[in-house]
Each structure stands twice: as C-alpha cells, then as structure tokens.
Amino acid sequence: MNNSVALSGSLGFLSLGDIIQLLGSSGSTGVLRLINRFAPDPGFIYFIEGNPVNAQNGDIEGLDALYSLFGWVSGSFEFTREAILVDKRINKSRMGIILEGMKLLDDGHIKKIGPANAAEKAADRERLLSKTAIVKGPLVDYMYVVDEEDFFDGEHIVEEGKHGSWIWVILEGVVDIVKEDDSGTIPIIRIGDGCFIGSMASFLLQGHIRTATAVAVGNVQLGVLDSQRLAQEYAGMSLEFRTFLTSLDKRMKQLTDRIVEYHDGNVQTTEILKDKKVLLRQGKTEEKQLYVLKQGRASVVRDAENGPVVLCHLYKGDFFGDVPFLHLGQEPEGAAIYGSENIKIAKIEAVSLQKEYNRLSTTFKNIVDNMATCMSVTADIVCRSLASKKEVTADNDTRQEI
C-alpha cells in the first residue's frame, strides 16, 4: 500500500489536541509529523486505529515526547497513512493524553516553542476557555438527523430532573454539562462538535428523567436524532451487546454523580474498599480479558497521586476488563477492580462483541465511541475534583493552625 498524506495544515489553526481528536474519531493508522522552525528536528506521533502508541521529539520518546509536542504553538503538521511498526510505549487513552497535555502546558510544565506573539495568543485563548478541555466527537453522520435546532448563549437545552426522550448531536458550538446541588452549579464536562446530548436511556425508556443540565456556551446548533430508528437498531442487537451498552451507560451516570459526591465530601473511600479484594490491578495491560459480574459487587478504583479514587460501582450483569474496540480510560490501564468476598465472575469473548460493534450504523457507533471518550474524560475530572477538595481542606487546616 502506498503511503498517502491524509491531513495537513497549520498548528496555528488546529492545536495538537484537536488533531489527536480528529485522528481518533476517524480511527486512523499512520504517522503525524510536526514541523516547527523554532525546533531543530521534526516531531513524530505514531497512531494505530486512532490511538497514539509512540512519539518522538529529538532524543525523547514515548509519552514524555508526546506531551512536549503540546508546546509547539506554531508550525505545520502532516499525517500520512501507513503501517506502524514501532514499539508501543503509550497506553494512556487519547483524551487522557489531551487533558494532561493541556494541563501541563497551562501550568507551565511544558516549554512553548514558537514566536512570542504566537505563544501569547495561545495563552490568551486558553484563559478565555474553561480549564476543562472541550471534548469533540466523531464527524457527524446526518443519516439519523431529522431536524435542527438553535440555542443561544446561556440557554438550557435540557434540565436536570425533567423528563425528556430526545437525543441531539452538536453540529456546531460548545455545550456545558452541569449538575445542581445545595451548594450551587457543579461543572461536569464541556463538549463540542460531534458530541451527543442525552444518554441511550433517553430513547429507550419512556418517562426518562434527565440526570444533568446542558447549557449552551455561545450560539449552538444541534441535530435532533431519530429516536425511533435508534431504538429499533438497539432492539435488533443481541442481549449480550445490549447489556454491555447498558453497563457503559450506567457507568457514565455514576461518574457524573461521583463528581458531585467528591465536591461535597460525601465519599468514604476507606469504608467502600473495606473487605474487598483486588480482582484486576491497575496498569496490568498485558491481561487482555473481558469479564461479566455474575454475583456480588465490584468497584472501579483509580490509584491517583492523592490516594485511591472510587470511580463507580459494578453489579450483577456489568462488564469490566479490557474492551479492545473502546478506550474507556479506566481498567486495566487507568484503574483497578476491587470485588466483594462473595463475588463471582465469568470470562467474556470480546471478539463477538467487537463483531457486533463493527456492524453498528455510523450514528450508533458514534454514540458509543463518544460515550467512551466522555467516560475517560469524566474519570479524570473525578480525580481532579477529589484533589481540589483535598487541597482546599489542607489550606483551611493550615489557616486554622495559624
């Protein structure tokens, strides 16, 4: 197969984070070459099926090299489709990479390479945006779009606690997903073009109650999806695959709830993990196996800098382990699984699930992919919420001592 340039442009127009999301949404395999006249050598990022597996910037390789390239605020890029033979040195999910890269850049831990004015413009742009990266979805498939709606800055698209059966795709604009509690509005995630508003429960359950509020940031154009057509496609899936999707949907809801709980200081991690045993250790990427819970209860726990963070709980019928066709940013790379004493699990052949996933319509596949991306990002936000809470508590303790 001849190598071909599939995408090229300016880093001043598309940031590295945007490029990674774009290549991820199209499942591209090949080499991204970055050129900056202020750097002595080009930078390289190697992708397999949309996921970075290695990178090189001068003498640096792997994840450190990739993060350093976030500092290239000017220059050009070129993506070439070709077979990748390099060693896999990066296991982190692409949205986890984007979030961490932007944070390192914002905190000054990554050196900006470019003219001073370009660096200043980039910094100004970052200050105008939320601290949370804008999550972008796959390219929009218009086959299931039956109508278009416009919302204006600050307008509520859906409201937490209200009934609703519609699901939208963002055609253009940015939307904040937030939750409300006694302390006020708690930001969850910021989403952009190609992302979906509404969970699968929106079109599967009559009388579905919205679990979060979606607020337009600036003017937003949405595409209304054909809920009946989506429900019919879902009904034609195997019971195992429907159960798998439902398990993911429940995880996503728990992750948003967890942000609120950590914000309010209502999670007792030690108590939750009491009398639980480790079923799958964080970082054991060599164990490529998917399981289903037959009995008992399990918890998805990330070992973070500030200690263990409970991301969500799993019950009978829920899945855990390696999902080869989705990158959830959780186990096994980014989380461990703790199980109760009476737990019973069974191995699942992920091949059959992957074959069914491959047969999905473009729109349904986009919904599943976007849910996985949002789960990865939200898991990172859960950990940051706990870290921020501990920092505030430590500051308050220090002030009291003084």
Q: In the structure encoding, which two tokens stand for residue 385, read together?
A: 């919420």
Give every CB contact of residue 58 below 8 A, 6+ residues apart in sequence: 39, 40, 41, 65
Whether 96 contacts 25, CB under 8 Å: no
The b-or-e profile of 228-262 (16+ CB within 10 A means b, else e) is ebbeeebeebeeebbebbbbbbbbbebbbbbbbbb
Distance CA 367, CA 16 (A): 24
Q: Per-residue pLDDT for the chain (402 aa), expressed as one digit of tens each?
A: 456 788 888 888 888 998 998 898 888 999 999 998 888 889 999 999 999 999 999 889 999 999 999 999 888 999 999 999 888 999 888 888 998 898 898 888 898 887 654 444 444 434 434 455 688 888 899 999 999 999 999 899 998 888 777 899 999 999 999 988 777 788 889 999 999 998 887 766 655 688 899 999 999 999 999 988 998 999 999 999 999 999 999 999 999 888 888 877 766 777 777 888 899 998 876 678 999 999 999 999 998 877 888 999 999 999 999 998 988 888 988 899 999 989 999 999 899 999 999 999 999 999 999 999 999 888 888 887 666 555 444 444 433 444
Could you give all domains of the chain from N- to C-terminal order, each with its CATH number?
4-129 (no CATH), 134-236 (2.60.120.10), 238-402 (2.60.120)
The pLDDT assigned to 199 comes to 82
pLDDT of residue 113: 82
Q: What is the pLDDT of residue 11?
A: 87
Q: What is the pTM of this model?
A: 0.71
